[in-house]
């Protein structure tokens, strides 16, 4: 029997999000049924709602930073039980057979991972609807354990903003003494600062906005560099082993390339699309430097990140909102008027 659920959806690029009644699938033997407690608000939610990427399936129920409580489990589920606190991130399934899935990198599934929303479930051809809703049904392989030591509302953005910045930190083997820089101080950037600092790296923030020094240092930055100041940029030439670029819009990468050390990498995690300016290959060639990309992380890596955050007391800086405030939150997010992530208290949807 399918499950009737109330959520918030948009039906076109110009519609506001509004109450939407829909059905979740009948639970399968390996499914976990989760009552959603908190859901983070990601820039991707806004992009999908407004069809910025030209691939939105309407009606769209966004939300992929989900913290919830297990209501029930299928007969083949052993890892979870009713009452457990769990998380669901950006994916709810993948082929589990390709080379990427075999390496625990389900986000790069060759058959395309099944996203928490704006995908079609290959098993029953039902659309996937996200966390702006009362409940969700997810196969147990894509459900994550949440430490009791974490603030649950603050933990929600870890399921996207956290893993998006953790994955490159781990892939490029950041550790004690590593020299890491972060471009941009928003939802992703503030998590990159926290996680890099907890990994005992030397952490620098690149910003175009003066006045962020106090907050950046509180979040873990050892140094703040104003990227529009030529002298400050010259002072960090050939310094960074890794630069995590979290900026979500087209921007010029060339000013940052000379600050990479020999064999250094600038990794893009925030922007999807064409860059306005061509890369100057000279610093790349003369320093064996790289520009790379990275997206979220696999399930095992996400669990590792959540466990690390539980051990180190790391959560996102959030502003808690009611579901009914989501449209105003989107407008504020466009103005970068949030420090640093909105999280929806789903109790507001239950009345």
Q: Does any domain span residue 260?
A: yes
Q: Does any domain span residue 311?
A: no
d(Cα 114, Cα 132) in Å, to the nearest integer?
Answer: 17
Q: What Cα–Cα distance (Å) separates residue 260 from each residue in 104, 285, 287?
A: 29, 12, 8
**Domain match, 78 and 149 both:** yes
Contacts (Cβ under 8 Å, ≥6 apart) of 14:
50
**Domain match, 125 and 269 both:** no
Q: pLDDT at residue 277 above 90?
A: no
The number of folded domains in the chain is 2
**Domain match, 62 and 180 both:** no
Of the candidates 160, 260, 268, 162, the residue with the CA atom closest to the CA atom of residue 204: 260
Q: Does any domain span residue 200?
A: yes
Q: pLDDT at residue 276 above 80?
A: no
**Residues 103-157: tens digit of each pLDDT:** 999 999 999 999 999 999 999 999 999 999 999 999 999 999 999 899 999 999 9
Q: Determine if the peptide bond prior to 321 is cis (ω within 30°).
A: no
Q: pLDDT at residue 253 above 80?
A: yes
The model's pTM: 0.95
Confidence of residue 278 (pLDDT cuts 50, 70, 90): confident
**Residues 210-239: tens digit of each pLDDT:** 888 999 999 999 999 999 999 999 999 999
**Domain match, 112 and 62 both:** yes
Q: Does any domain span residue 242?
A: yes
How far from chain centre, in Å, is Cα 59?
Answer: 22
Q: DSSP string covering 93-149, please?
A: E--S-SHHHHTT-GGG-TT--EESSSSB-TTT-PBP--SSBSEEEEEGGG-EE--TT
Q: Range of 44's domain? A: 3-160+316-349
Pairing of strands 240-245, 114-115: unpaired
State the chain's mean pLDDT as an integer.
Answer: 96
Q: Does any domain span residue 306?
A: no
**Domain match, 196 and 149 both:** no
Domain boundary among 278, 293, 308: 293
**Domain match, 117 and 37 both:** yes
Q: pLDDT at residue 96 above 70?
A: yes
Residue 328 belongs to domain with CATH number? 3.90.180.10
**Domain match, 148 and 126 both:** yes
**Domain match, 341 and 282 both:** no
d(Cα 96, Cα 305) in Å, to the nearest integer?
Answer: 21
Min mean pLDDT across 59-63, 95-99, 209-213, 306-310 is at 209-213
**Domain match, 23 and 119 both:** yes
> What pLDDT, on the 0 to 100 scale, is given for residue 351?
62
Q: Does any domain span residue 305?
A: no
Q: pLDDT at residue 332 above 80?
A: yes
In the three-class reduction of DSSP (H, G, I as helix; E, B as strand; rest coil), residue 180 is classed as strand
Could you tell me if 274 and 297 are in contact, meaning their C-beta atoms sit under 8 angstroms apart?
A: no
Could you tell me if 132 and 326 are in contact, meaning their C-beta atoms sit under 8 angstroms apart?
A: yes
Angle at 100 between CA 96 and CA 103, to 5 degrees: 85
Average pLDDT over residues 9-20: 98
Average pLDDT over residues 79-102: 97
> What pLDDT, on the 0 to 100 scale, is given for residue 129?
98
Q: What is the 3-state secondary structure (H, E, C) of 34-80?
A: EEEEEEECCHHHHHHHCCCCCCCCCCECCCCCEEEEEEEECCCCCCC
Percent residues over pLDDT 90 in the chain: 92
**Domain match, 34 and 156 both:** yes
Residue 224 belongs to domain with CATH number? 3.40.50.720
**Residues 15-45: tens digit of each pLDDT:** 999 999 999 999 999 999 999 999 999 999 9
Q: Does any domain span residue 307?
A: no
**Domain match, 136 and 167 both:** no
Q: Does any domain span residue 190?
A: yes
**Domain match, 321 and 341 both:** yes
Average pLDDT over residues 324-335: 96
Confidence of residue 207 (pLDDT cuts 50, 70, 90): very high
Helical ranges in the chain per DSSP H: 43-49, 99-102, 152-155, 161-171, 187-198, 213-219, 230-235, 281-287, 299-312, 326-334
Average pLDDT over residues 258-266: 98
Residue identified by tokens 């196969």 is 139
């Amino acid at each position: 029997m399918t499950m009737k659920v109330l959520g918030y959806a948009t039906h076109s690029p110009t519609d506001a999000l509004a109450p939407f009644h829909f059905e979740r699938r009948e639970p399968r033997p390996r499914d976990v049924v989760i009552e959603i407690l908190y859901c983070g608000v990601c820039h991707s939610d806004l992009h999908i709602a407004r069809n910025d990427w030209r691939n939105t399936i309407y009606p769209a129920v966004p939300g992929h930073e989900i913290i919830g409580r297990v209501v029930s489990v299928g007969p083949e589920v052993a890892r979870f039980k009713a009452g457990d606190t769990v998380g669901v991130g950006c994916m709810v399934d993948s082929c589990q057979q390709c080379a990427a899935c075999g390496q625990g990198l389900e986000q790069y599934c060759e058959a395309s991972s099944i996203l928490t929303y704006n995908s079609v479930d290959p098993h029953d051809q039902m659309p996937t609807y996200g966390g702006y809703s009362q409940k969700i049904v997810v196969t147990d392989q894509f459900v994550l354990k949440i430490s009791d030591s974490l603030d649950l509302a603050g933990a929600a953005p870890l399921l996207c903003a956290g893993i998006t910045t953790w994955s490159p930190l781990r892939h490029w083997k950041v550790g004690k003494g590593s020299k890491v820089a972060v471009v941009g101080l928003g939802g992703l950037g503030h998590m990159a600062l926290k996680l890099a600092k907890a990994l005992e790296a030397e952490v620098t923030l690149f910003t175009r906005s003066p006045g962020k020094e106090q907050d950046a240092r509180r979040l873990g930055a050892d140094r703040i560099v104003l990227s529009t100041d030529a002298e400050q940029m010259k002072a960090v030439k050939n310094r960074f082993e890794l630069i995590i670029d979290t900026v979500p819009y087209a921007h010029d990468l060339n000013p940052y390339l000379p600050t990479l050390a020999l064999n250094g990498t600038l990794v893009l995690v925030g922007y999807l699309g064409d860059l306005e300016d061509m890369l100057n290959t000279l610093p790349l060639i003369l320093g064996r430097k790289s520009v790379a990309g990275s997206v979220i992380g696999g399930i095992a890596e996400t669990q590792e990140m959540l466990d690390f955050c539980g051990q180190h007391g790391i959560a996102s800086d959030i502003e808690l909102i009611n579901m009914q405030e989501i449209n105003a939150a989107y407008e504020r997010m466009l103005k970068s008027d949030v420090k640093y992530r909105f999280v929806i208290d789903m109790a507001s949807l239950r009345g």
